[in-house]
Structure 1
């Protein structure tokens, strides 16, 4: 069998992994050094919308992008992690970065770095900023990788707008073990005098965000104070001081997407966009592995009568959102196929799902050093009252489920890395 030659960008990305011993090492010193060597591309970007938060960053960014594009505008967009291919992280004026352009900017950053220590995320973020600085667009959408204050994206002196989606407990080993500490890191993207759209927040997080905003004179556009959003009779109702919008529900399923939609609409309204952009944000948005219904590919062929879903959420808040969404679906026996990383609160994630599922089949995540073993995930499921067993792969898991329940609803969940593997293998 002929082996496929890796893309040039893959070879460079592999080389970049060796430049720093840690995957995550939060500081901005190395980023500033490389950006200076690249002639500071971060200072030559179209107006920047910078988004931080624990859950909903990617969905909110995708809705804003859909809205801007629906209004005939273009936007660069940076997001992480990728699911199937690295190119997904970098959209240049609306299109996924091409292989030649990606290879060129990665090579340029690697050369400019001169062999110095720098993390993979830091050097690839610099490559994205370099690509964005060289192509005209109306806006730049930057999603924080981790935290905010010391994240590699936090190098924009004066963004047009910042956004904080809901803050919850996650990545405690890097950001702190309380909501207040985590909110402080997220609120590190606030800039003096720059407005910030704030999604629904726990009181402890909101207090920290408000204190940081007051210190910087950053006006807040906060959920429950300056804007409201809710579902009514199958429509999305959004209201702020400019008036009321009656819109279709977002095409991303789940009650939690209502609040993400509200933050996106608040951002679009602040940017002066009208109803065309707001409606497009709801109807044109696409964001894989967020309660995504799988309808084609080998997994679906193996389970022709089953209902197959994929979700990459991986913390306690995501588990609660997923549990609420499952509770609202038409009754159908639901079975989970789950793989998780050992850095996550597995019990917190699974507890809200236990009431909605008949069983869980645990898998390990292929190729991930930090994967929980299938047996560890199964054990955590049993501890929250969810009958669980293990399987060698996602395909084996779904095949086993449909043997006993051909019409099952099957949800593959627990990690964006697992979801990415599923999307790659399922075509």
Structure 2
């Protein structure tokens, strides 16, 4: 690989921001120096130079697999579009969050799971992705097939993260059944009869399967040394259960009480970047920026909008009074450390040359260029 020098950049390190130069050699950061423009070099024109963003939980692939209701897009094409959008957002490491088990066993997620993992495996092996992709398997513990499906993929080399989740109406994210009714009628077009039937059926599935399946998933994560997250904890009791299970990551706690309990339990707290950008949760749950102001936020996840990740980090500066290095850590160093990736996440000598050139505007930060391992990918 050739040596690359990026100069006249506002370099954002783990601790400070300064005008300087970053030199890349053999895909690694070889030098970080203060000072103005040097030659020969690529002049960044005073733009920010950030570490490549690290995304622990994105459903973005699903959006491209099903671009419209009733439409299923070819999986390799969907993956390529997803990957390009991820890189364009400044994300250089991404955990694709795919659902293991579905409360509707004939549903979209059930049909696309195996093709998605196969396509991802093929693309990574061929070196055809712009971002570095890993797997985050989201285990729907109320489903009947979650353990069979998870067992099928436990030896997948791309697997680094498991999460336990339960989307049964009437609890956690859907504690308010009225909000669940609005969501189901809008997205699934259920009438009142179908809605009542589904609530009854899914509640029965939870009673029959959730406790046993959760226990099994937790044990499998321990046996394989996989990082484990808990999804949508709502009560102090939910967090206590997660703590007993050895959970280290609290994904999207839905209440202030749950976030406080997660902090007390030493869990890393992940919130949705779209929540911050929109000014609140689309489900009526606690606002991400409120948790940031209460010192209860460690990581942002773009969830369903890749571009929200960088935007949300800058909002921490504007709306929560955080320093820029601290804010950028929520989308770089902190998620990398949670996933056990110690070779990336900040601009420091010896680390991977995953970098993003960003120009702030009055409305949103604009990604101008992206490098992964010193290679331009966006």
Higher RCO (CA 8 Å, separation ≥ 6 residues): 2
Higher strand share: 2
When normalised by structure 2's length, the TM-score is 0.32
